[in-house]
Chain A
C-alpha cells in the first residue's frame, strides 16, 4: 500500500498546487492550463479509488471539451489589455469582489454542511437502498442505477442542458446579410437552359449583365 499512498499524495499535491495556481497566475491562459492539470490529477484520484468510469468521463467531458472551450474564449479575449489590471493602481471599482465573496461564502458553507453531514451520519453509505456489488464493473453499476431509479432526474438534467444550449444559440445568433452561401441542391439542379444564355451583342455596346 506504500506505493498507493505515495501516488495519492503526489496527485493530491499536484491538484492542490494547480488549483491555487489557477487563481494566482496572472496570465489567464496559464490559469486555464493549470485548471486542466487540476482536472487531470483529480481524474487520476478517481481512478485510484477504483472509479475508473468517473475518472475517464471527467477527462473526456471536462478536459476534452469544456476546458478546450475555456481556452478558446480566453485566447480570443484581448489578454494584453487586461494584464495586471487587477493588481495595478489604475484598477478602480471593486464591483466584482463582493459578488465573488458571496459566492465563495455560499460554497464554503455548502462544503461544511456536506462534511458535517458525513461526520454526523457515518453509516450513510450502508443505509442507502442501493446495494453496491463489487463483482460488476462500476460502469455497469452506474448504468443500472442511472437508467432505472434515477431516469427522470437524468432526463430532466438533459432537458436543462438542451434548454441552456438553445438559449445560448438564440442569444448569440445574428442573421448576417450579404453572406454568400453554397447550396449543393442549387448547384446540382442547374440546367443548361438557365446556365447558358445566347445573347445578340450590339456592336460597340456589349452586353449588360444584371446579376
Chain B
C-alpha cells in the first residue's frame, strides 16, 4: 500500500511542477497579448502595475477574485457552474502529453496526438454548457455559433495532423519531434502549417474568428452572464488553450524541443527553452493577427473552413502520401 502512496505523491508533485508554471505563464501571456496589441496600434498598453505593467494580470486576478459571482435566477445552476470548470480542466489536462524535452514529459503515451485532438474537441462543451445554462439569448447564440465553428475547423485540423503523421509513422508526440531532427515539417508541409495556424485561430475563438463573443453583435457571447471568478476561469481556460495550440504547432511543425541547427552554441541551450521560444513566437504571431485583421463574417468563416481548407488539406494528404510512396520514404516498415 505504501508504494501506491509514494507513486501518487510523486505524480502529484510532477503535475504541480507542470501546472503551476503553465498557470503563471497564462497570466503573463495575457499581459504580453495586450502589450503587443497596444504597440501595433501605437498605444502603451498596461504599463502601470509593476515594472512594464508586468503585474497587471495579477491585479486583474485579484479584482476577479473579490468580485461577486452572480448566478442568474432563471439559469440552470449546476450546468452554469460546471461550464467554466469544464473549460478550465480541459485546457489544463492536455498539457500532460506535451513533450518539453527528451524524457521530459509527464505522460509519454502512444496516442499522444490523438489525446490532444480529443481533448481540444471536448473544449466546445464548456462553451455550449455556459451558453445554454445562462438561459439568455446572446449567450445561446454565441454558444451555437462557437459549436458550429469549432466542429468545422476541427475537421481540417484533423486532416492536417494526418499529413504530419504520414511523415512520422507514429502517434507519439516525442516520436513526432524526433522525426524532425533533419528537417522541420514546416518546410515540406508549409501550406499545412499556414492552414493549421489559421484553423488554430478559429478553434480557440481568437480574432479574426471571435464570432462566439463578437461584442458588436452578441455583447460577450457565451460569457455574457458570467462574472467574477467564473468569468476569470473561462478566460484562463481560453488563454491556456491558445498556449496549447501554439505548443501543438511547435511540436507538429517547428521541431518541438530541437534546436534549429545542430551546432554548438544552439544545441547547448536546453530543450524546454527552445520549445518555450517557439511557443512564444507562435503566440506573438497570434497577437499580431489579433491586432491587424478585422473580424470575419459568419458565412465567410464557414466558407473558408469547409470549401477551402478541407478540400485543400485533403488534396495535400494525397500529395504527401503519393510523394512518400513514390520516393519510398514511408516510415515505420
Q: Does B144 lie within 8 Å of A72, measured CB to CB?
A: yes
Q: Chain A contacts of B114 at CB under 8 A? A: 53, 56-57, 60
Asked if A33 meets B110 with Cβ closer than 8 Å, knowing A64-B121, A68-B151, A75-B144, the reply is: no
**Quick one: which of B4, B79, B125, B144 has the most chain A CB within 10 A?**
B125
Q: A residues bordering B, Cβ < 8 Å?
A: 2-3, 29-30, 33, 36, 52-53, 56-57, 59-60, 63-65, 68-69, 71-72, 75, 137-140, 182
Chain A residues with Cβ under 8 A from B117's Cβ? 56, 60
Q: Contacts of B124 on A, CB cut-off 8 Å?
A: 64, 68
C-alpha gap A29/B130 in the complex (Å): 13
* Cα(A169)–Cα(B233), bound, Å: 39
* Given A29-B132, A52-B111, A64-B154, CB of A59 within 8 Å of CB of B122: yes
Q: With contacts A3-B4, A29-B132, A139-B171 known, is A65 near B111, CB below 8 A?
A: no
A-B contact pairs, 29 of them (CB 8 A): A33-B79, A36-B125, A53-B110, A53-B111, A53-B114, A56-B114, A57-B114, A59-B121, A60-B117, A60-B118, A63-B118, A63-B121, A64-B122, A64-B124, A64-B151, A64-B154, A65-B121, A65-B151, A65-B154, A68-B125, A68-B128, A68-B151, A71-B147, A72-B144, A75-B140, A137-B110, A139-B111, A140-B332, A182-B299
B115 near A: Cβ within 8 Å? Answer: yes
Distance to closest chain A CB from B15 (angstroms): 17
The CA-CA distance from A24 to B221 in the complex, in Å, is 32
Q: Which residues of B contact A29 (CB under 8 A)?
A: 79, 132
Q: Within the assembled complex, what's the spacing in Å between the Cα atoms of A17 and B128?
A: 23
Contact of A68 with B147 at beta-carbon distance under 8 Å, contacts A3-B4, A60-B118, A75-B132 already known: yes
B2 to chain A, nearest CB (A): 13
The chain A residue with its CB closest to the CB of B169 is: A140
A52 closest partner in B (C-beta): B111
- A18 to B121 alpha-carbon distance, docked (Å): 21
The 4 closest A-B pairs by CB, nearest first: A64-B121, A56-B114, A59-B118, A60-B118
Q: Is B111 within 8 A of A64, CB to CB?
A: no
The listed residue (A59, A65, A72, A139) touching B110 by CB distance below 8 A is A139
Bound Cα distance from A59 to B122, whole angstroms: 8
Q: Is B189 engaged at the interface, CB distance under 8 Å to the other chain?
A: no
B94-128 residues at the A interface, CB under 8 angstroms: 109-111, 114-115, 117-118, 121-122, 124-125, 128
Known: A60-B158, A68-B125. 13 other contacts (CB 8 A): A3-B4, A53-B111, A53-B114, A56-B111, A64-B121, A64-B124, A65-B121, A65-B154, A72-B148, A75-B144, A137-B110, A137-B171, A182-B299
Q: How far is the CA of A57 from the CA of B110 in the complex (A)?
A: 13
Cα A56 to Cα B140 in complex, Å, equals: 29
CB pair A56 B132 closer than 8 Å: no
Closest beta carbon of chain B to A187's beta carbon, Å: 12
Bound Cα distance from A43 to B121, whole angstroms: 15
B314 nearest CB across to chain A (Å): 14
Q: How far is the CB of A103 from chain B (nearest CB, A)?
A: 28
How far does the alpha carbon of A56 sit from the alpha carbon of B115 in the complex, in Å?
Answer: 6
Q: Which residues of A contact B122 (CB under 8 A)?
A: 59, 63-64
B129: chain A residues at CB < 8 Å are 33
Interface string of B154-166 (1 = CB under 8 A from A): 1000100000000
Cα-based distance from A182 to B304 in the complex (angstroms): 13
* Residue numbers in A under 8 Å from B144 (CB-CB): 72, 75
- Complex: how many Å from CA A139 to CA B110? 9
Nearest to A3 among chain B residues (CB) is B4
Are B132 and A60 in contact, CB atoms less than 8 angstroms apart?
no
CB distance from A45 to the nearest CB of B (A): 15
CB distance from A26 to the nearest CB of B (A): 13
